[in-house]
Amino acid sequence: MAVDLPDNVLISNLDALANWCRKNSLWPMPFATACCGIELMATGASRHDLARFGAEVFRFSPRQCDLMIVAGRVVMKMLPVLQRIWQQMHEPKWCISMGACASTGGVFDTYCVVQGIDRFVPVDMYVPGCPPRPEQLIQGILDLQEMIQRQGTVAGEEFAARDRQQPKRALRELPILGQSPELRRAR
């Protein structure tokens, strides 16, 4: 079935168009709690210029954002706040865990620091580094854009698919040295 189209008309499917709009207008929510927040600010500032990728509009209200960037360690007192902010953001929304502390707790293996925010909120992209360079964060955002283009649908099917995933191995709590009964028996 041939359709005669003028040269200046393009056709696409609605998903691809919606994803293209979404990925090029990410509005980040800066959840900056530590030194990663400084690199996050540098990423948004003129030298590294996040505006080239359509993600320069940092909003401090979760209701206006669709990309939460958790930059820095999150302590147990802060985690309910983080979860509340995540819940207040509108779908479609994504989360970047920036730096070693947000992803794993980093060197802060103590009673109050959450050992990776992915235990309690869904994370789409991890940026390694302590703290990561702005280039690394930009690479993370570019990868996330690619993922949005590839996975996103207007019907939101990708969220159901991600819910079915098994919990990651790293989500298990490691035994505490000198405290856990298994270790004591082995000794």
Partner 1 sequence: MQAGSAMNEGSDILLRQLGAQFPRLSTSAFRGQTRIVVPRDELLELLRPLKERFGFDMLVDLTCVDYLHHRDATDRFGLVYLLVQTESGRRLTVRVYVNEPDLSVPSVVSLWEGANWLEREVWDMFGIRFPGHPDLRRILLPEQFTAHPLRKDYPLQGRGERHNFPVLTRSQA
Residue 160 as a binder of partner 1 (CB under 8 A): the answer is yes
- Exposure of 4 in the CB half-sphere (CA atoms within 13 A): 0
What is each CA distance from 160 to 46, 86, 97, 114, 129, in whole angstroms? Answer: 38, 18, 21, 26, 30
Both tokens assigned to 29: 């929510």
Given candidates 163, 169, 181, 186, which one binds partner 1 under the rule CB under 8 A? 163
CA dihedral 42, 43, 45, 48 (to 10 degrees): 110
- Interface segment toward partner 1; rule CB under 8 A; list 23-31, 41-49, 140-148, 155-163: 155-163
Considering only residues 58-97, where is the footprint of partner 1 by CB under 8 A? 76-77, 79-80, 83, 86-87, 89, 91, 93
Cβ closest to partner 1, residue 18 vs residue 79: 79
- Exposure of 106 in the CB half-sphere (CA atoms within 13 A): 23
Cβ closest to partner 1, residue 30 vs residue 116: 116
- Residue 121: CB partners within 8 Å, gap ≥ 6? 82, 83, 86, 95
Given candidates 33, 54, 119, 147, which one binds partner 1 under the rule CB under 8 A? 119
Greatest CA span in the chain, whole angstroms? 79
Quote the least distance from Cβ 55 to partner 1, whole Å.
21
Given candidates 109, 135, 146, 157, which one binds partner 1 under the rule CB under 8 A? 109
Cβ closest to partner 1, residue 7 vs residue 91: 91
Q: How far apart are CA 143 and CA 36, in angstroms?
A: 19
Cβ closest to partner 1, residue 27 vs residue 53: 27
> Which residues of this chain interact with partner 1, rule CB under 8 A?
76-77, 79-80, 83, 86-87, 89, 91, 93, 109-115, 119-122, 159-160, 162-163, 173, 176, 178-179
